[in-house]
Structure formats: C-alpha cells, structure tokens
Amino acid sequence: MITVKDVSVGDSLPVLELPVTARTVVQGAASTRDWQPQHHDHAWATTRAGTKDIFLNTPNQAGWIERYLTDWTGARGRLGRMKFRMRRPVFPGDTLVFKGTVTAVDAADGWVDLDLALTVGDETATECSARVAIPRDTDDNPWNRRGDDWRP
C-alpha cells in the first residue's frame, strides 16, 4: 500500500503503453454507452467529422486515466479531481503512452497532485492534471472521508 509518506514531488509514475485498435475505440464507446458515430462509424468520422478514423471518446479516456492512477495508488487511492484537455484525437493504430509526475503532496490531508501526459509518438494527445487522495498512513482509508474531510 502506498501512503503520502512514500511520495515526493517529482516522483514519476510507471509508464503505461496502450496499443489502440478499432476494438479499443468501439469497446470504450460501448462501455460508456456513447453511440456518437465518430466513435464507431469510420465513414461518418471521415466524411462528417473530418477526422482520419474513429477515435477514443472522452469518457473512455477518463476511464483509462483513472485506471492508470489507481494502478499506482492501489485500492485505497480515491480520485478527487481530474482535468484533461484533448490536443489530438487518438485513432486505431496509435500507441498511447501514459506518463505521470507528482507535482504536489499535502501530507497533512493526504492529497497528491499529478500532471499526466498521454502521447502518441512525439505528439501530446491528452494532458491531464489530477488530484488523488491516498492514505496518510497504513491505518487511513480515503474512502471513509466525508463532509469537511473530503475537499477535492
């Protein structure tokens, strides 16, 4: 289990590489119940949206980012805030590379801030800043925080 005592500003998260296929995109859209055509219909994406292919939808990217963060924090890691901006669409054939760096640690309240970058080759596809609650010590569980104890 990771606690705030184990984390310092500048720490890097392990890199995650995701080879994106058409199945990744369509399964992601289906799991989010998002049937906007640009996430499953190649002809519509290219002729109407003007993109080169179908592409990952926003909620699915949020799901991948959450998974990337909790791979690092473990089960007691609790997402408090997530802000992301898409710079370019992510298409089948892309390899999406996740990297993250700790930018702030609030040891007293058990918060960690991170900057994440999701890249394809030399291009940044998505930028994200996140705030995650992690245990202050081995007896602490952020999922028990309520009311004034939960200020993301």
Partner 1 sequence: MTDTAALEREIGERTAALVDEWTGRELDAGPGDVACERGYILAWVEATENANPIYWDEAVARETTGGWIAPPSMLSVWMRPLLFNPGAREQIRPLEMHFRLKDAFALPEGIVTGNEIVFHEPVRPGDVISTRLTVAEIGPVRSNRLGTGRPWTIDVTYTNQEGGLVAVESYRMFCYVRSAS
Site residues for partner 1, 51-90, by CB under 8 A, read 58-60, 62-67, 70-71, 75-76, 78-86
Cα separation values, 148 from 1, 61, 121, 139, 151, Å:
25, 30, 43, 19, 6
Among 31, 95, 124, 138, binds partner 1 (CB under 8 A): 31
Q: Tell me the site size for partner 1, rule CB under 8 A.
A: 38
Pick the stretch among 7-15, 27-35, 90-98, 111-119 that binds partner 1 (CB under 8 A).
Answer: 27-35
Q: Counting contacts by CB under 8 A, is residue 30 touching partner 1?
A: yes
Q: Counting contacts by CB under 8 A, is residue 106 touching partner 1?
A: no
Residue 42: exposed, middle, or buried by beta-carbon count in 10 A (0-12, 13-18, 19+)?
Answer: middle
Q: In this structure, is the dihedral angle defined by the CA atoms of residues 34, 36, 42 and 46, taken in order, positive or negative? A: negative
Q: How many residues does the chain have?
A: 152
Among 32, 46, 101, 103, binds partner 1 (CB under 8 A): 32
Cα separation values, 52 from 7, 10, 142, Å:
41, 37, 42
Nearer to partner 1, 60 or 119 (CB): 60
Nearer to partner 1, 93 or 152 (CB): 152
Contacts of residue 67, defined as CB under 8 A and 6 or more positions apart, other chains included, come to none
Q: In this structure, is the dihedral angle defined by the CA atoms of residues 106, 107, 108 and 111, taken in order, positive or negative? A: positive
Residue 66 Cβ, how far from partner 1 at the closest point, in Å? 4
Binding site for partner 1 (CB under 8 A): 24, 27-28, 30-35, 48-50, 58-60, 62-67, 70-71, 75-76, 78-86, 141, 143, 150, 152
